[in-house]
Amino acid sequence: MPFNGTGMFVRVRNWVADSAAGIKIRADYHDIEDDGFADGLSQCIVRDGQTTVTNNIPMNGKRIVAMQDPLDPQDAATKTYADTKVSDTGDTMTGDLAIKKTAPTLTLNGIPANSNRIVSQKNDLNRWIMDLGDTLPESGSNAGSNFRLGSYNDSGAAITNALMGTRSTGLLTVAGDPVNALGVATKQYTDTNLALKVNRAGDTITGPLTVNGELTAVTNYIRFVTPGSGGYLQWLGGSTYSVGGSTVWHSSNLTPIINARLAYAADGQPGNGSMNEPYGGGVITGLSGASVTINAVGYLVVVGARWRYLQLQTPGATRLLFASSKPVDTCATCAFDTPACPAGHAIAPQGTTYVRLPLTLSDGSLAEVTSLLLFFN
Quick check: is 334 in a domain?
yes
At residue 178 the predicted structure's pLDDT band, cuts being 50, 70 and 90, is very high
The radius of gyration of the chain from alpha carbons, rounded to an integer in Å, stands at 56
Same domain, 137 and 220: no
Average pLDDT over residues 148-155: 97
Quote the pLDDT of residue 1. 56
Quick check: is 59 in a domain?
no
Q: Which residues contact 126 (CB under 8 A, 6 or more apart)?
A: 119, 120, 152, 156, 157, 158
Q: Is the CB of residue 263 less than 8 Å from the CB of residue 311?
A: yes
Helices assigned H by DSSP within 175-332: 187-192
Quote the pLDDT of residue 244. 67
Nearest Cα residue to 373 out of 354, 352, 362, 357: 357
Quick check: is 201 in a domain?
no
Q: What is the pTM of this model?
A: 0.43
Average pLDDT over residues 195-199: 73
Residue 228 has pLDDT above 70, yes or no: no
Residue 351 has pLDDT above 70, yes or no: no
Q: Which of 125, 154, 174 is the last residue of a domain?
A: 174
Burial of 141 (0-12, 13-18, 19+ CB in 10 A): exposed
Same domain, 150 and 228: no
Q: Which of 204, 224, 249 is the last residue of a domain?
A: 249
Render 67-82 in DSSP notation, one character per residue. PPPP-STTSPPPHHHH
Q: Is the CB of residue 97 less than 8 Å from the CB of residue 105?
A: no
Quick check: is 72 in a domain?
no
Quick check: is 55 in a domain?
no
Quick check: is 9 in a domain?
yes
Per residue in 59-72, pLDDT (tens digit) is 899 999 999 999 99
Per residue in 237-287, pLDDT (tens digit) is 777 777 766 777 666 666 666 667 777 777 777 666 666 677 666 778 888
Find which of 134-148, 182-196, 282-296 is predicted with most confidence, using mean pLDDT. 134-148
Residue 24 has pLDDT above 70, yes or no: yes
pLDDT averaged over every residue in the chain: 76
Number of domains present in the structure of the chain: 4
CA distance 105 to 130: 17
Same domain, 351 and 318: yes
Average pLDDT over residues 296-320: 66
Same domain, 295 and 343: yes
Quote the pLDDT of residue 217. 72
Same domain, 231 and 267: no
Residue 341 has pLDDT above 60, yes or no: no
At residue 116 the predicted structure's pLDDT band, cuts being 50, 70 and 90, is very high
| Percent of the chain's residues with pLDDT above 70 | 72
Q: Which of 249, 268, 301 is the last residue of a domain?
A: 249
Nearest Cα residue to 307 out of 292, 290, 291, 326: 326
| Percent of the chain's residues with pLDDT above 90 | 29
Same domain, 230 and 168: no
Neighbours of 304 (CB within 10 A): 13
Find which of 35-49, 127-141, 209-223, 278-292 is predicted with most confidence, using mean pLDDT. 127-141
Quote the pLDDT of residue 297. 72
Nearest Cα residue to 307 out of 258, 350, 362, 270: 270
Average pLDDT over residues 315-322: 43
At residue 146 the predicted structure's pLDDT band, cuts being 50, 70 and 90, is very high
Same domain, 141 and 168: yes
Quote the pLDDT of residue 273. 62
Between 129 and 49, the more confident residue is: 129
Quick check: is 77 in a domain?
no
At residue 160 the predicted structure's pLDDT band, cuts being 50, 70 and 90, is very high
Between 45 and 290, the more confident residue is: 45
Q: Which residues contact 264 (CB under 8 A, 6 or more apart)?
A: 306, 308, 338, 339
Same domain, 264 and 358: yes
Quote the pLDDT of residue 323. 34
| Least confidently predicted of 16-30, 302-316, 342-356 | 342-356
Quote the pLDDT of residue 130. 97
List C-alpha distances in Å: 52 to 37, 45, 46, 55: 19, 8, 9, 9
Same domain, 239 and 322: no
Quote the pLDDT of residue 274. 66
Residue 140 has pLDDT above 70, yes or no: yes
Quote the pLDDT of residue 368. 24
Structural domain boundaries, residue 269: 259-362
Between 142 and 327, the more confident residue is: 142
Same domain, 354 and 264: yes
Quick check: is 112 in a domain?
no
Quote the pLDDT of residue 249. 66
Residue 100 has pLDDT above 50, yes or no: yes
CA distance 337 to 345: 12
Average pLDDT over residues 29-34: 89
Quote the pLDDT of residue 229. 55
Same domain, 155 and 233: no
Quote the pLDDT of residue 357. 32
Same domain, 301 and 323: yes
